């Protein structure tokens, strides 16, 4: 295959991989092809061993299509969604507003898989981490992060949910990246995390979720269709009925998907995991930068803004003596002016085996002053749940002994 053919394979995975020496080129070809295959598999309904369709693996549109193919009226899809997500029912025999004949037909051809909570840890600061087992034995995590007012009453309930089992992109600071990639989550597996934790928040703190961030295990835009579909499920009357603007989908910077997100005018907020403001430093910690550098990101984000009029949040983990210097603040300020934006400075949850460490408080204060002096709208997100390993992937990686696929060589 010639170089143009290799580039085309890379584009199929959603990114423009630069040409490299032969051996590395072959590796990127293989990984690009794997990513392309993964993206196809993510859109296919999941089947059980007896060839039954998992209805929670279907997007709302595909659930309607499934009902049509069974000879059912389209409103049956709404009834099924209400039973699955609002009433949390997985037994067709208890879906009493469906005829006995229809329930029997569904029993023959379909099933409803649910996630199973297997571990729960509560931090001294109120953060609660959940570990879920999926039908195939894989495990994923989600974290409830409450904020309290001066009287200690909960004023904001944020959940951080996962979109994949592991992650292929191998960011050096991320526990999930050390796992490698195993598979995408279905839209139902993603939505179920938010719905289950909403119940937990109401039980523990007396109020439901106010915000949902897709910043847990995995790269959300690598699982584009299921992630977007889960957002529509969560915000529907059959889910949690939340405003779409209460959901934020994060990405390490997949340009094709950012453009698609803009073209489709998806109603959810977009966040970019930046973490370094120069290509030199981003190359060191985020392998994706080899295929989607800052110049490419700028063009993708400008296109997104042109299509939607919306801004972006830059997520910036502050690492001690790595990306917290005056020059970093100056470059971050420059990036913040690409399109309307705000910057979220995040204090890192240190991960065992990772050389990068959380920045010291005095360096954070200095960095924030440099940003505000340059008129950057910036906030700080404090580290939460250190005592329960609240950084995404820190629990699941203990149970995943084998290594999944990764852009990073072992």
Look at residue 353 in the predicted model and tell me its pLDDT.
80
Nearest to 13 by CA among 155, 222, 266: 222
Answer yes or no: 160 catalytic: no
Is it true that 53-111 and 116-399 share their CATH fold? no
Task: Reduce the DSSP state of residue 93 to 3 states and report it.
Answer: helix
Q: How many CB atoms lie within 10 A of CB 172?
A: 16
Please state the domain extents for the chain: 3-42, 53-111, 116-399
For the CA atoms of 118, 123, 126, 131, the dihedral, rounded to the nearest 10 degrees, stands at: -20
Answer yes or no: 352 catalytic: no
Per the CB < 8 A criterion, the answer to whether 200 and 242 are in contact is no
Strand stretches in 75-180, DSSP E: 110-111, 116-122, 128-133, 139-148, 154-160, 164-166
CA atoms of 334 and 343, how far apart (whole Å): 12
Q: How many CB atoms lie within 10 A of CB 205?
A: 16
Look at residue 354 in the predicted model and tell me its pLDDT.
86
End-to-end Cα, the chain, rounded Å: 26
Q: Percentage of the chain with pLDDT > 90?
A: 74
53-111: what CATH class? mainly alpha
Look at residue 51 in the predicted model and tell me its pLDDT.
82
Query: Exactly one of 111, 167, 171, 392 is catalytic; which is it?
Result: 392
Query: For 58, phi and psi rounded to 5 degrees?
Result: -95, 135
Fold of 116-399: TIM Barrel (3.20.20)
Note the pLDDT tens digit of each residue in 22-56. 334 444 444 444 554 444 444 556 665 568 999 99
Note the pLDDT tens digit of each residue in 89-103. 999 999 999 999 999
Nearest to 184 by CA among 409, 359, 405, 398: 405
> Which is more confidently placed, 343 or 39?
343
Q: How many CB atoms lie within 10 A of CB 278?
A: 17
Q: Determine the average pLDDT of the residues in 150-164.
A: 94
Look at residue 395 in the predicted model and tell me its pLDDT.
53
- pLDDT at residue 8 above 90? no
Confidence of residue 396 (pLDDT cuts 50, 70, 90): low
Please list, in sequence order, all residues whose beta carbon lies within 8 angstroms of the beta carbon of residue 382, skipping any fewer than 6 positions away. 347
Look at residue 49 in the predicted model and tell me its pLDDT.
53
Note the pLDDT tens digit of each residue in 66-118. 999 999 988 999 999 999 999 999 999 999 999 999 999 999 999 999 999 99
CA atoms of 350 and 357, how far apart (whole Å): 6
For the CA atoms of 339, 365, 358, 130, the dihedral, rounded to the nearest 10 degrees, stands at: -70
pTM of the model: 0.86
Structure tokens at 186: 């279905």
Structure tokens at 345: 């400075």
Q: Determine the average pLDDT of the residues in 314-334.
A: 97
236: alpha, beta or left? (left if phi > 0; alpha if psi -120 to 50): beta
Confidence of residue 19 (pLDDT cuts 50, 70, 90): very low
Instruction: Out of 28-42, 165-179, 368-382, pick the least confident.
Output: 28-42
Query: Exactly one of 141, 189, 200, 219 is catalytic; which is it?
Result: 141
Q: How many CB atoms lie within 10 A of CB 100?
A: 9
């Amino acid at each position: 295959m010639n170089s143009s053919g290799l580039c085309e394979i890379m584009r199929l995975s959603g990114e423009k991989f630069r040409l490299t020496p032969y051996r590395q080129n072959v590796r990127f070809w293989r990984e690009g092809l794997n990513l392309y295959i993964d993206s196809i598999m993510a859109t296919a309904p999941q089947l059980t061993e007896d060839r039954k369709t998992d209805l929670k693996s279907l997007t709302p549109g595909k659930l309607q299509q499934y009902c049509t193919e069974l000879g059912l009226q389209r409103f049956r899809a709404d009834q099924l969604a209400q039973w699955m997500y609002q009433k949390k029912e997985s037994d067709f025999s208890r879906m009493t507003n469906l005829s006995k004949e229809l329930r029997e037909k569904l029993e023959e051809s379909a099933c409803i898989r649910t996630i199973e909570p297997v571990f729960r840890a509560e931090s001294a600061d109120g953060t609660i981490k959940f570990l879920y087992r999926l039908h195939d034995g894989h495990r994923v995590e989600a974290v409830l992060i409450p904020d309290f007012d001066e009287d200690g009453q909960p004023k904001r309930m944020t959940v951080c949910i996962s979109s994949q089992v592991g992650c292929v992109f191998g960011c050096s600071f991320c526990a999930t990246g050390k796992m490698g990639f195993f598979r995408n989550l279905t839209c139902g597996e993603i939505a179920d995390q938010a719905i289950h934790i909403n119940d937990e928040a109401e039980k523990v703190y007396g109020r439901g979720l106010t915000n949902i961030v897709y910043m847990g295990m995995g790269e959300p835009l690598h699982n584009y269709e299921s992630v977007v579909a889960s957002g529509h499920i969560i915000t529907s009357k059959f889910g949690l009925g939340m405003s779409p603007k209460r959901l934020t989908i994060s990405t390490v910077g997949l340009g094709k998907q950012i453009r698609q997100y803009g073209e489709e005018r998806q109603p959810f907020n977009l966040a970019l995991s930046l973490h370094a403001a120069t290509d030199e430093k981003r190359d060191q910690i985020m392998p994706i930068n080899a295929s989607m550098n800052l110049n490419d990101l700028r063009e993708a984000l400008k296109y997104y803004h042109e299509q939607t009029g919306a801004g972006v949040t830059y997520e910036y983990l502050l690492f001690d003596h790595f990306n917290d210097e005056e020059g970093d603040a100056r470059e971050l300020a420059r990036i913040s002016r690409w399109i309307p934006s705000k910057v979220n400075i995040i204090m890192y949850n240190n991960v065992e085996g990772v050389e990068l460490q959380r920045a010291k408080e005095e360096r954070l204060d200095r960095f924030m002053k440099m940003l505000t002096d340059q008129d950057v709208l910036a906030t700080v997100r404090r580290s939460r749940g250190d005592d329960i390993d609240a950084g995404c992937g820190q629990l699941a990686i203990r149970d995943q002994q084998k290594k999944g696929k990764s852009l990073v060589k072992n």
